Structure 1
Amino acid sequence: MNSPLKISRRQLLAATAGTAALAGAPAVWSQKKDRVLRVGNQKGWLSLLKGRGTLEKRLAPLGVQVAWTEFNAGPVQLEALNVGSIDFGDVGEAPPIFAQAAGAPLVYAGATVPRPALEAVIVPKTSALRSVADLKGKRVALNKGSNVHYFLVKLLQKHGLQYADVQPVFLAPADARAAFERGAIDAWVIWDPFLAAAQKTLDARLLADATGVVNNRAFYFTSRDFATRNADVLKIAIEEVNAVDAWVEKNKPAAAGELSSLLGLERSVTELFVGRASYGTAVVTRQILAEQQQIADTFFDLKLIPKKINLLHAAPVDLA
């Protein structure tokens, strides 16, 4: 488990990818006595951070307030970042690639360890589909541009299929769940806690998770402008995220109970995804940027993004 992180302003900016595309990003924030960190979060670890109020306590001496907005998926979080509505958030592997290809002012502030068990392809319990190969020609629901988008591409390739061999149905998690329940789709590619909820409350059957296919890291992001002007705030934010990670790893039953209350989910649901997660948050290294580059190249080859992007020129971040 990683110790609390010590990140300098130089290190945060070193994690920037797509520098040329971001050079003209407008300066939205100015350094003021009273500042606000606007956090966009999904259902998960940031929900624990929000519920505990520890980030607010750490930032109060700096005159920084915290405002929270919950999103149902990464792509909409990054849209909010692009229009200047949030400053910090959590996202899967794939959404940053789409955002960077579109010129979003994205900076990688941190990354988790691989967590492949937290995303999977599921089918109804009574489905005739028994293997990934059986997905050929089938209607597969997924959130476009999310972490599961890349997972599906690589999973199909591993089993001798191409992305074009399935019929993608792009649906947000709530709409996909509804379609799954009424039999309008054949399979659903989804992440936790939506995955665990479908397994526990819909009796969904897991066809394949991402183990041995993709890493499924989560990333914490910010904008170039915010990082330039508020490196002290981001340093504390990443330290607090890492502290939550460390606590959950050592206190899974308690964390499951806390998340159950915060997210309004059954205890069995939070126990399932807390129990199969891996824990640890660190700054972004060159190796992690190389993983992101592979995703970017894959999406370009599939014509899912309009242009090639280069992430590997960014200097690695270390904890020295």
Structure 2
Amino acid sequence: MTLTRRHFTTALGASLALAGAGPSRAGETIKLSYQRSSTLLTVLKTKGTLETRLGAREFGVSWHLFSKVLEPMNTGVVDLHADVADAVPIFTQSAKAPLTFYAMEAGSPHAEAIVVPEESAIRSIADLKGRTVGVSKGSGCHFILAAALKRAGLSFADIKPAYLEAPDGVAAFDQGSLDAWAIWDPFLAIVQAKRPIRVLADATGLSSYNRYYTVNDSFAAAHPEIVEIVYAALVEAGQWVKANPREAVALLAPIWGDLPPEVVATVNERRSYAVKPVDRAALSEQQSIADTFHEAGLIPRRLDATDVRIWQPVASRG
């Protein structure tokens, strides 16, 4: 199985050309981004669900694949953004990105982990001192690594972080360029299928690994009815994946680089795919992430992680 960067990237420059466009009106195109871990958005894209439902309102749909999600989220080059792990919104909030939270996916703590080759002499997080550890900057695994190091009495200053996007991390880990790798599914399941590895720690006890869906403030204000349609479609997609595991594997495997069915099945088993409204009180876990990142010098100022804009579906409004 060969995974190349071609499978995981898109033309960022072309998408950046969309920056500055105002909220869509009937007859215009709604821009959505996704990443390879965006299972539910991938399901909707493949099935053409949003094209059908939004097309009925005379809106077009365009999809934009990103491996680096922070830049499009910060600049607002699309209307609705790829779902992201819990740590990413801390960086966008720190950058004062104009984003509204409109949905969250319930926790899946086993879907991200810090791993080493099975033959490695590294047996614990404490053994990472002085070692080269791969991680995607701004990702949920960035927090897991920081929190795990802190729990072991270490910090980022004690390791040699190698900031790599996930596709590049696959090759680096395979080639032995990394002593350890902090990574999430489907890449975690990919490497587990390719070679024996040891999990030093997953997110259990550190993070629930919730995923969040965001939309540009201006779009949410101008088109709450469109956000409602996308939200409902995400809920249905999550229910479909869990109720139809074989069909979901068959749909996703070729899109994820012709992955073996068992790898896709592992990913889908570990993720909850339970989409629900964002509860401000539930963002308290985000505060731990924000505090850890500030202490590690990864964000310049302290944040109130609950001080974000939240859209609620009609059924949840009081």
Match of 2:77 in 1: 85
Write the deviation string for residues 275-307 of structure 1: whole angstroms up to 9, x where unpaired: 222231112112232222322222122221122
Q: Which amino acid aligns with 2:200?
A: L
- Cα 1:240–1:202 change in 2 (3 A) is same
Match of 2:40 in 1: 45
Write the deviation string for residues 17-64 of structure 1: whole angstroms up to 9, x where unpaired: xxxxxxxxx984245221322111112221111111111111112111
Match of 1:6 in 2: none
Match of 2:107 in 1: 114
CA–CA separation in structure 2 for the residues paired with 1:222 and 1:237: 11
Secondary structure, counterpart of 1:123 in structure 2: strand
Q: Which amino acid aligns with 1:141?
A: G
Q: Which amino acid aligns with 2:301?
A: K
CA–CA separation in structure 1 for the residues paired with 2:174 and 2:147: 26
Write the deviation string for residues 246-285 of structure 1: whole angstroms up to 9, x where unpaired: 1112222321222112222221210111122223111211
CA–CA separation in structure 1 for the residues paired with 2:124 and 2:177: 19
Give TM-score, length-normalised by structure 1: 0.85
Q: Which amino acid aligns with 1:234?
A: V
Q: Sequence identity of aligned pairs in percent?
A: 37
Match of 1:250 in 2: 243
Say whether the 8 Å CA contact 2:102–2:277 is kept in structure 1: yes
Match of 1:312 in 2: 306
Write the deviation string for residues 200-223 of structure 1: whole angstroms up to 9, x where unpaired: 023333222112221111111111
CA–CA separation in structure 1 for the residues paired with 2:237 and 2:83: 14
Give TM-score, length-normalised by structure 2: 0.86
Match of 1:54 in 2: 49
CA–CA separation in structure 1 for the residues paired with 2:75 and 2:153: 40
- Cα 1:167–1:29 change in 2 (3 A) is same
Write the deviation string for residues 130-176 of structure 1: whole angstroms up to 9, x where unpaired: 22222222111000111101111112223333333222111111221
Say whether the 8 Å CA contact 1:28–1:84 is kept in structure 2: no
Q: What do you get for the CA RMSD once the two structures are aligned? A: 2.0
Of 228-237 and 155-164, deviating more is 155-164
Alignment match of 1:36 (pick from 29, 33, 48): 29
CA–CA separation in structure 1 for the residues paired with 2:70 and 2:220: 15
Secondary structure, counterpart of 2:157 in structure 1: helix
Say whether the 8 Å CA contact 2:87–2:143 is kept in structure 1: yes
CA–CA separation in structure 2 for the residues paired with 1:277 and 1:220: 15
Say whether the 8 Å CA contact 1:27–1:225 is kept in structure 2: no
Secondary structure, counterpart of 1:62 in structure 2: coil
CA–CA separation in structure 2 for the residues paired with 1:214 and 1:163: 18
Match of 2:6 in 1: none
Runs of at least 5 residues in structure 2 that lack an aligned partner in the other structure: 1-18
CA–CA separation in structure 2 for the residues paired with 1:124 and 1:30: 48
Match of 2:234 in 1: 241
CA–CA separation in structure 2 for the residues paired with 1:127 and 1:271: 27
Match of 2:275 in 1: 281
Q: Which amino acid aligns with 1:283?
A: P
Say whether the 8 Å CA contact 1:153–1:163 is kept in structure 2: yes
Alignment match of 1:64 (pick from 51, 59, 62): 59
Say whether the 8 Å CA contact 2:24–2:30 is kept in structure 1: no
Match of 1:167 in 2: 160
1:150 maps to 2:147: no
Secondary structure, counterpart of 1:87 in structure 2: coil
Equivalence map 1:154-303=2 (5 Å): 154-264=147-257, 265-303=259-297
- Cα 1:31–1:279 change in 2 (3 A) is closer
